[in-house]
Amino acid sequence: MNNNEQKLSENLLNTAVVIFGVTGDLTSRKLIPAIYELYQSDRIPNNLNIVGFARRDWDNDHLKKIFKDSVRSYSGKEIEEEKIDQIFSNVKYIQSSFSQLEGYEQLRKYLIDEGIKNVLFYLATPPEAYETIIELIGKSELSHLTEGWTRIVIEKPYGRDLATAKNLDKLVHTVFNENQIYRIDHYLGKETVQNILVLRFANGIFEPLWNRQYVDHIQITVAETVGVGTRAGYYENSGVIRDMFQNHLLQLLALTAMEAPVGFTANCVRDEKVKVLRALKPYDAKGVLDNTFRAQYTSGYIDGKKVIGYKDEDGVARESITETFLAARLYIDNWRWSGVPFYLRSGKRLPKRMTEIAIQFKQIPLSLFNWHNMAGDAPNVLVMKLQPDEGVTLSFGAKMPGHINQISPVEMNFDYEESFDIKIPEAYVRLIQDALYGDATLFTRSDEVTSQWGFINGILDGWKEDPRKYLPVYEAGTWGPPGVDFFIKGDNRHWRNPEV
Ligand code: BG6
């Protein structure tokens, strides 16, 4: 722990984390293991108060047991039983429905009796509960209760379109000031996502090339092998556009395309991201159909195992036209990027879990080597590999040794785990730490979320104009239907589909 972290950790004396929806999956899989890891690495003090607020008939001891079990099951770190006991020594369970004012009054009394100075509220509930909880936090005057700070972390989805996001934002602002609000996009907590800015702005070699003069196009891929699992109830009404594009993919795009911020502070970084989001070229109704390609998975094989199709998943309507795959061509109308296509795609049940940003540089103006060129027409690609094999790769063509005149593709590779000899930490560890320390750089600001929705709304509106009875389908374990290849081949380009 450095001096600054030590000071910040000391500032956390008499602090409570209040988790709404404490009985849910997110709490046990992500939040509680993250709190344990922060304590284990001395980044938070051991007397943190953790308050769980939910409907189930649990009590303090039961909650404590659940917390301990969840660390044992989900923490990637070494388990130190003594530390588990210490960090979960102050656990309180408040049993209440989210709409019952008495629950909030009980919470208020508890926080006052315990002498709490700082409060971090965490909304880990289904999004339908957000408005009620925020209203009642306001009504019971919990948002400015203490002499220290009060903040609220809000999970995605933040609205389901521009209008609902704006309504939610309006309500949140009646109870909290913007600097108290921490909207989570967990991709921003990933080390490799933060490294996009370091790679770009802590090095002199890339930035001069990072523009329309040298870049042919950019491909951002977030491919998953998992299906919809048990989340059909949510996913049916979201699709990949709301689940992944509105947040994670647009954030990756903004970090890749933004200008250098004036400083590395929350507002300076977010100012630059917002400028990119505002510069996204909106589509007209026909443009939406020409520049997006959606599809849905059918049954197939992932890692040699048979998996069912989307329509056969539990909770999915037989006539569902929810997209589980989307590819889109985006343009950023600013001086740096005008005319450079950004190809974004994401889907479930693709052959490989892979998140990467590939910067494809332009071809040479004239080929001097009349040789066999195995590196293809445009070998120069810089790939930021975000998961699962985290690192950066630069590909280029090299002369094959020997008398045969041939150019072969070769790579320069940086591998995170190999270079630093560490396991990449979970995004939530960093994000919860930042929320407790009061650093909002890795959280999305109000105007950022509404700009993201503004753009996505244009696509949703375009799709409404084109009511479909069915979507193109792709077999699970493939990179999408053939149509998605034509989508990019028409531009004389191709998708980077790695071999599995
Ligand atoms: C979530 C989506 O935000 O991100 C999920 O709701 C998706 O559908 C997940 O599976 C992917 O996150 P990660 O960190 O595994 O890439």
356 lines ligand 1 (CB under 6 A): no
Query: CB–CB of 261/202 below 8 Å?
Result: no
Looking at ligand 1, which atom is closest to the CA of residue 355?
16
Q: How far apart are CA 259 and CA 72, in angstroms?
A: 43
- Same domain, yes or no: 261 and 362: yes
**What residue numbers bound the domain in which 389 lies?**
188-426+442-489
CA atoms within 13 Å, Cβ hemisphere of 384 = 23
Domain boundary among 132, 155, 178: 155
Query: Does the residue 135 lie in any domain?
Result: yes
CA-to-CA distance for 116 and 16, rounded, in angstroms? 7
What is the predicted pLDDT for the residue at 404?
78
Instruction: Give per-residue pLDDT as tens, 252-305.
Output: 999 999 999 999 999 999 999 999 999 999 999 899 999 999 999 999 999 999
Q: Assess if residue 495 is contained within a domain.
A: no
Do residues 74 and 196 both lie within one domain? no
For residues 146 and 72, membership in a common domain is answered with: yes
Burial class for 44, CB neighbours closer than 10 Å (0-12, 13-18, 19+): buried
Residues paired with 160 in a beta bridge: none
| Residue 127 CA, ligand 1 centroid: distance in Å | 16
Instruction: Write down the pTM of the prediction.
Output: 0.95
Among the three residues 131, 155, 179, which one is the final residue of a domain in this structure?
155
Q: How close is the Cα of 175 to the center of ligand 1, in Å?
A: 29
How far lies 426's CA from each of 123, 230, 433, in Å?
19, 22, 12
Phi, psi of 415 (to 5 degrees): -115, 125
Query: CA neighbours within 13 Å on the CB side: how many for 485?
Result: 8
User: Three-state SS across the chain?
Assistant: CCHHHHHHHHCCCCEEEEEECCCCHHHHHHHHHHHHHHHHCCCCCCCCEEEEEECCCCCHHHHHHHHHHHHHHHCCCCCCHHHHHHHCCCEEEEECCCCCHHHHHHHHHHHHHCCCCEEEEEECCCHHHHHHHHHHHHHCCCCCCCCCCEEEEECCCCCCCHHHHHHHHHHHHHHCCHHHEEECCHHHHCHHHHHHHHHHHCCCCCHHHCCCCCEEEEEEEEECCCCCCCCHHHHCCCHHHHHHHHHHHHHHHHHHHCCCCCCCCHHHHHHHHHHHHHHECCCCHHHHHHHEEEEEEECEEECCEEECCHHHCCCCCCCCCCCCEEEEEECECCCCCCCCCEEEEEECCCCCCEEEEEEEECCCCCCCCCCEECCCCCCCEEEEEEECCCEEEEEEEEECCCCCCEEEEEEEEEEHHHHHCCCCCCHHHHHHHHHHHCCCCCCECHHHHHHHHHHHHHHHHHHHCCCCCCCCEEECCCCCCHHHHHHHHCCCCCCCCCCC
Do residues 224 and 131 share a domain?
A: no
Q: What are phi and psi of 58, to 5 degrees?
A: -115, 170
Shared domain check, 230 and 332: yes
| Catalytic residue (one of 173, 186, 248, 372) | 248
169 CB under 6 A from ligand 1?
A: no
pLDDT of residue 4: 67
Residues 226 and 324: beta-carbon distance below 8 Å: no
Ligand 1 atom with least separation from CA of 353: 16
In a domain, 169, yes or no: no
| Domain of residue 447, CATH code | 3.30.360.10
Do the domain assignments include residue 164?
Answer: no
Phi, psi of 490 (to 5 degrees): -60, -25
Q: In this structure, is residue 16 part of a structural domain?
A: yes
Residue 308 falls inside a structural domain: yes
Phi-psi region of 311 (alpha: psi -120 to 50; beta: other; left: phi over 0): alpha
- The partner residues of 260 in beta bridges, in order of sequence, read none
| Low-confidence spans in the chain with pLDDT less than 50 | none
* Judgement on whether residues 235 and 280 belong to the same structural domain of the protein: yes
CA of 139 to the centre of ligand 1 (A): 34
The reply to whether 151 and 208 lie within a common domain is no
By most ligand atoms within 8 Å of CB, the mutation choice from 248, 313, 354 for ligand 1 is 248
CATH number of the structural domain spanning residue 10:
3.40.50.720
| CB 105 less than 6 A from any atom of ligand 1 | no
Cα separation of 349 and 309, whole Å? 9
* Spatial strand order in the sheet of 150-154: 91-95, 49-54, 15-20, 118-123, 150-154, 181-183
Is the CB of residue 226 less than 8 Å from the CB of residue 243?
A: no
Q: Are 340 and 215 in contact (CB under 8 A)?
A: yes
Q: Is 372 a catalytic residue?
A: no
- For the chain, the farthest-separated pair of C-alpha atoms sits apart, in whole angstroms, at 84
Rounded (10°) angle between helices 162-175 and 446-464: 160
If asked whether residues 252 and 343 sit together in one domain, one would say: yes
Query: How many whole angstroms separate alpha carbon 393 and alpha carbon 319?
Result: 42
How remote is the CA of residue 251 from the centroid of ligand 1, in Å?
14
Q: Kindly report the CA angle at 68 between 114 and 102, in degrees rounded to 5?
A: 40
Residue 104 lies in a domain: yes
Q: Is the CB of 80 under 6 A from ligand 1?
A: no
149, 118 in Cβ contact below 8 A? yes
Judgement on whether residues 257 and 403 belong to the same structural domain of the protein: yes
- CB 29 less than 6 A from any atom of ligand 1: no
271 lines ligand 1 (CB under 6 A): no
Nearest CA to ligand 1 atom 9: 244
Best CA proximity match to 24, nearest among 129, 171, 137: 129
Rounded to an integer, what distance in angstroms lies between the CA atom of residue 357 and that of residue 215?
A: 13
Domain count, the chain: 2
Q: Of ligand 1's atoms, which has the minimum distance to the CA of residue 235?
A: 8
Cβ-contact 452, 250 below 8 angstroms: yes
Same domain? 105 vs 231: no
498 is a domain residue:
no
Would you say the CB of residue 243 lies under 6 angstroms from ligand 1?
A: yes
Given 138, 155, 172, which residue is the final one in a domain? 155
Q: Are 348 and 224 within one domain?
A: yes
Query: Ligand 1 centroid vs 109 CA: distance in angstroms?
Result: 37
Same domain, 76 and 137: yes
* Gap from CA of 12 to ligand 1 centroid (Å): 30
